[in-house]
Structure 1
Amino acid sequence: MRALDIDPVHGTRQTFRELCDVMSRPGTVSRVQTTPADYAITATLVDHEVTFHSSDEELTTALAGQGRYSAADPTAADIVHADGTPSWDVRDLERGSLVEPSEGATVIYRVEGLSETPKDGLTDVTVSGPGVNGTTTFGVGLPAAELSALADAQADYPRGVDAVFASDDRVAALPRSVTLRVADGPESSENDNGGDR
């Protein structure tokens, strides 16, 4: 993905390892070596076998130039990229089925900030479930309403969506298996995926 200044071998390989790490430790904010993180994650996950949606023209043009852009509406795409709060509703994305939960979408949010601790200007999200020792709280640069909608989209485990948040060189992830509590804002919400499994 040299069109995005991403090494197509070493950059994506390193990003894949970093993505696996944050997916296995939900709510943990880590730094990535390849930036911007949302582009690096997209370049790592999107190939000719998956469908993709993004309104970012630079990103879609680069993918198309590599023969890796199979466009789809957000409600049907395997991987969906959002620059901040999207125009579509995360609850309308593909959530898979009880038989094939892996068919649920992965959404990559480019956010204004990520913090490993609660921080002014960010929405606090408390996470529990597999991969979390008790609970962990981190800050995300998205409105509480969007994160509450994500909690709703993940409330029917094993169905749901996997979410990745990226801000410059920082990344965090919330797989569908976790329980979220959105602490800030009047739209606070909590999903219940049955606790640790």
Structure 2
Amino acid sequence: MLSEAIALEGGFSDPVLNAQSVFRAVMDAMARPATIVKVDAVVTPPSPLGRAAGAIACALIDADTPFWLDAALAESAALRSWLAFHTGAREMATCDDVAFALVGAPTTMPALERFAQGSQEYPDRSATLILQLPSLEGGAPLTFEGPGIRDRVTLAPRGLPKDFAHQWSANRKRFPRGVDLILTAGDAIACLPRSARLVEMEG
């Protein structure tokens, strides 16, 4: 009974308006890659999922978009029930063919190429990865250029895989295929669409 009560609580208080607000924030962040954007994360998901990641899940994931949880998140039965109730989506056992992936421990996540990449004809059939990080600041600087970026922009998130630069360079080379990333920390997000070029690797 307790887990059922937890699943019912902590979602959007006004599902339509809240979802629209979060969606606009994500679209703004996607349009301005590697730029930190605040999200009105009016949700309280069960631990270990953070507010921004939970709000994005509630806004973007639905019955038509199956999702996957990494081991760090999947171990929480309360969280799995919460996501099922508030999104109506199916959780999948593997990451290979899902629309969204929620990652609580990015340092040990599967390689980006393991997720759905889309195709040349249907690049939109790829995965969007929602990564939960300790912070979007204070890490190793990553400089990007490309569509939506004036000149260059630098982001320094903490908690990415050690070989992230190599993986992201390979992901960019698969364009228009490839995955998109939403980095989250607390109430903040920064997006890396597959069009963003990592200068250190490709400049």
Which residue in the other structure is 2:64 paired with?
Answer: 49
Q: Does 1:89 align with 2:111?
A: yes
Which residue in the other structure is 2:84 paired with?
Answer: 64
Work out the percentage of aligned pairs sharing the same amino acid: 24
Matches within 5 A, 1:149-160: 149-160=167-178
- The alpha-carbon deviation at position 24 of structure 1 amounts to 0.2
Gaps of 5+ in 2: 1-6, 43-50
Distance 1:136 1:155, change over 3 A: same
Out of 148, 166, 189, the position equivalent to 1:131 is 148
Matches within 5 A, 1:18-33: 18-33=25-40
Alpha-carbon distance between aligned partners in 1 of 2:63 and 2:123, rounded to the nearest angstrom:
21
Which residue in the other structure is 1:105 paired with?
Answer: 127
TM-score, reference length from structure 1 = 0.83
Out of 4, 8, 19, the position equivalent to 2:10 is 4
Match of 1:154, SS? helix
Alpha-carbon distance between aligned partners in 2 of 1:168 and 1:61, rounded to the nearest angstrom:
21
- The alpha-carbon deviation at position 171 of structure 1 amounts to 0.4
Amino acid at match of 2:20: R
Alpha-carbon distance between aligned partners in 2 of 1:83 and 1:152, rounded to the nearest angstrom:
23
Out of 11, 20, 23, the position equivalent to 1:13 is 20
Amino acid at match of 1:22: A
- The alpha-carbon deviation at position 84 of structure 1 amounts to 2.8
Which residue in the other structure is 1:187 paired with?
Answer: none
TM-score, reference length from structure 2 = 0.80
Alpha-carbon distance between aligned partners in 2 of 1:123 and 1:68, rounded to the nearest angstrom:
37
Which residue in the other structure is 2:96 paired with?
Answer: 75
- The alpha-carbon deviation at position 101 of structure 1 amounts to 0.5
More helix by share: 2
**Contact kept in structure 2, 1:4 and 1:39, CA below 8 Å:** no
Which residue in the other structure is 2:198 paired with?
Answer: 180
More strand by share: 1
- The alpha-carbon deviation at position 96 of structure 1 amounts to 0.5
Alpha-carbon RMSD across the aligned residues, in angstroms, is 2.0
Which residue in the other structure is 2:3 paired with?
Answer: none
Residues 123-180 of structure 1, C-alpha deviation per residue, up to 9 Å, x if partnerless? 2111110000011001111244234323322321101101000000110001111112
Which residue in the other structure is 1:195 paired with?
Answer: none
Distance 1:142 1:65, change over 3 A: same
Alpha-carbon distance between aligned partners in 2 of 1:131 and 1:173, rounded to the nearest angstrom:
11
- The alpha-carbon deviation at position 45 of structure 1 amounts to 0.9
Match of 2:124, SS? helix
Gaps of 5+ in 1: 183-189, 193-197
